[in-house]
Amino acid sequence: MKDTLTPGLTHTLHYTVPEHRTVPHLLPESSDFATMPPVLATGYMVGIIEWACMEALHGHLDDGEITLGIHVDLSHVAPTVVGSTVTVDVTLTAVEGRSLTFDVEARDEHAVISTGTHGRGVVDRRHFEARIDARLEGGRP
């Protein structure tokens, strides 16, 4: 991690919601999801928020480092329809060792749709990929 990775770092992401990011498309094999109204799915909203946090970190990690989502504490309090633009504002509030905490607010043209926090952990990509390979081979690292 670079010295520039400090609390107070902010970033904004804008995302226009397409049809394939709505609840019926979240898990198409689920008839329960398939019959829901076509609004932004919570699962996709979480992904958009993670994306905003990852973008906030551009230029602040050392070569070979990536971040992984390690904690999510988010509300989802209003529906967002297809074609709406979601604006996600994130602020890095804590850097504790290799753990990062972001405050999050997401909104569309009509309302705040989410608030909360998101945690990310900084890891070495090669080490993490080695752990994945070991699991694929039947190990438990």
Which residues participate in catalysis according to the annotation? Answer: 42, 50, 76
* CA angle at 77 for the pair 16 and 120, rounded to the nearest 5°: 70
Distance, in Å, from the CA atom of 64 to the CA atom of 87, rounded to the nearest integer, reads: 29
Decide the pairing of beta strands 112-124 and 85-96: unpaired
Distance, in Å, from the CA atom of 15 to the CA atom of 51, rounded to the nearest integer, reads: 10
Determine the 3-state secondary structure of 136 from DSSP: helix
* Inter-CA distances, 18 with 41, 44, 57, 92, Å: 11, 11, 26, 28
